[in-house]
Amino acid sequence: MNYGRPIKFALGFIVVILLLATFLPEPKPRVISYVNACKSNLREIQKAKEQWAADHKKVLTDVPSDTDLFGSDAYIRARPICPSNGTYRINAVGALPTCSLAFQGHSLSPDSITSTNNARSIASPP
Ligand SMILES: [Zn+2]
């Protein structure tokens, strides 16, 4: 019988596919979750900036320092860390905080911030 060879070949092929499926890295879900974690850090920083500006009657061009925002008696207990080791820039109150890995999607779009009303009220105090 000549059936042996094609069946062995097919089985070998299936085994190779299964091995590839098992051992190939799947970077995408992790990368996406890192991006989302970074974005949520940036959102948290932005909220802290807006709260700081409201509490201290700051204007949109004021730039809070690390000690203004981070610490046990500040708005965020510890300075957030990018899960992909990007570096955060706090920036002025009127600008969004940025991550050095913005080109990998570590960035906020202005409409992703829910509390922009707060920033507008800072721009034109009553
Ligand atoms: Zn980042």
- In angstroms, what is the span from residue 73 Cα to ligand 1's centroid? 25
- In angstroms, what is the span from residue 32 Cα to ligand 1's centroid? 11
- In angstroms, what is the span from residue 101 Cα to ligand 1's centroid? 5
pLDDT digits (tens, 9 = 90+) for 68-99: 999 999 999 999 999 999 999 999 999 999 99
pTM for the whole thing? 0.68
- In angstroms, what is the span from residue 30 Cα to ligand 1's centroid? 13
pLDDT digits (tens, 9 = 90+) for 96-120: 999 999 999 999 987 766 544 444 4
Task: Map out the domains of the chain as residue ranges.
Answer: 27-123
- In angstroms, what is the span from residue 7 Cα to ligand 1's centroid? 50
Neighbours of ion ligand 1 (CB under 5 A): 38, 82, 86, 99, 101, 106
**Residue 97: C-alpha distances to residues 19, 60, 88 (Å):** 43, 13, 7
Torsion of CA 31, 34, 38, 41, to 10 degrees: 160
Nearest CA to 99 among 81, 111, 113? 81
